[in-house]
Amino acid sequence: MKKTFLVAVGIIGALVATAVPASASESGLSGNLRKGEWVNYGTQRTVTVGGSNIYVRKTDGPEIDVKWRRCSGGAEGSAVRLQNADPTPYVRIGSGFRASTVFCLSAKSYGSNSTDTWNGNVRWNVS
């Protein structure tokens, strides 16, 4: 009985820890990479929750830097490193966005190959 209770608590705890709010947005990422050079990805995404953040994780690929850029130019975030070991945790790459901001993503490889690919996920409209 006690064991069942502990398992149930563990499951609930895991669900809470990984839950994404209903307002959150998430999509898969897949992109080409160049060693030491930024590659800009053409999929635009829109922040609809004011003050929210953007998180990225890598599920496959070499060590990379990732950053957000306003698609219309004029603003971009600092580079955030995602290590080689996959999957990485979700790492915050930007915070406190104004609602309606349209952002794009860029990545740079630190792997051994001159060109490579990576896969991952991006979450936005989350605290």
| Site membership for another protein, residue 35 (CB under 8 A) | no
| Site membership for another protein, residue 66 (CB under 8 A) | no
DSSP string, 92-114: EEEEEEPTT-EEEEEEEE-SSSS
Out of 80, 91, 104, 126, the only residue in the binding site for another protein (CB under 8 A) is 104
Sign of CA dihedral 42, 67, 109, 88: negative
| Site membership for another protein, residue 38 (CB under 8 A) | yes
Which residues are 93's β-sheet partners? none
Tell the smallest beta-carbon distance from residue 46 to another protein (Å): 3
Tell the smallest beta-carbon distance from residue 64 to another protein (Å): 15
Backbone dihedral angles phi then psi of residue 115, each to the nearest 5 degrees: -130, 150
Tell the smallest beta-carbon distance from residue 88 to another protein (Å): 20
| Site membership for another protein, residue 44 (CB under 8 A) | yes
Contacts of residue 12, defined as CB under 8 A and 6 or more positions apart, other chains included, come to none
Q: Are 32 and 114 in contact (CB under 8 A)?
A: no
Rounded CA-CA distance 54/92 in Å is: 6
Out of 45, 57, 58, 67, the only residue in the binding site for another protein (CB under 8 A) is 45
Out of 102, 113, 114, 117, the only residue in the binding site for another protein (CB under 8 A) is 102
Instruction: Write out the residues near another protein by the rule CB under 8 A.
Output: 25, 27-28, 37-40, 42-48, 69-74, 98-102, 104, 124-125
